[in-house]
Chain A
């Protein structure tokens, strides 16, 4: 069990640029989640996958956001035309569908200038 891995740890970008984050879940975990966390707030759900299928998306996930999990293993989260309001910590988590315990990565901190 190597844990949930997220890359990069930090990303600084200019407003209007596109960014992509990667998440590598624990290998046998079939469910993968993306959350967003801003200062002073708890994590907010964005979307989740069961294997390669994206089963639920929050209304927080605007059209500028897209997530994929093409082979049911790693996942990417892309933000197009970034805005300053996108600045946040983006967290990935994974679990088995048969176990409620969710394992979190350390997150990607995005700063949009």
Chain B
């Protein structure tokens, strides 16, 4: 079984400051890891994903995340926050291909507020 932990339901960041959202995962098999963003009244959109290969992955809108197996972490960062980054962010994990696990397990999410 897989699970993720996201701490701090609400995160406030000043415009232009670093955005850092923490995600720690638990998985009995090699994980696939994802970050999704949800804007009001819209469906979840994929920001980025890690499956295999390079541990630093870049996504849309200037976000990136680094897979650290030793720390079981997949933290999301963006160097400079924009007002348009205000949204809810979810980390998710699934089993890797061939491990028969097709479901995504989501964290509770972080509501990001950008302060002008």
A interface with B by C-beta (< 8 Å): 3-4, 31, 33, 40-45, 48, 55-56, 58, 91, 93, 100-107
Seed contacts A33-B103, A43-B44; 18 additional CB < 8 Å A-B pairs:
A40-B9, A41-B108, A41-B109, A42-B106, A43-B90, A43-B104, A45-B103, A56-B102, A58-B103, A91-B44, A93-B44, A100-B32, A100-B49, A100-B94, A102-B46, A103-B43, A104-B44, A106-B42
Instruction: Determine the interface band of chain B, counting residues with CB < 8 A from chain A.
Output: 20 to 34
Q: Tell whether, in the assembled complex, residue B103 and residue A48 are in contact, meaning their CB atoms are under 8 Å apart.
A: yes
Pull 12 A–B residue pairs with CB atoms less than 8 Å apart, ordered by A. A4-B43, A40-B109, A42-B90, A43-B44, A48-B103, A56-B102, A100-B34, A103-B43, A104-B36, A104-B43, A106-B41, A107-B43
Task: Give a binary string over B81-116; 1 marks a CB under 8 Å from any A CB, 0 the rest.
Answer: 000000000101010010000111111110000000
Shortest CB-to-CB span from B25 to chain A, Å, is 13
Which residues of A sit under 8 angstroms from B107, Cβ to Cβ? 42
A19 CA / B80 CA spacing, docked (Å): 45
The CA-CA distance from A91 to B36 in the complex, in Å, is 14
Q: Report B-chain residues with C-beta under 8 Å of the C-beta of A33.
A: 103-104
- Determine the distance from Cα of A55 to Cα of B9 in the docked complex, in whole angstroms: 33
Complex contacts, B106 vs chain A, CB 8 Å: 42-44
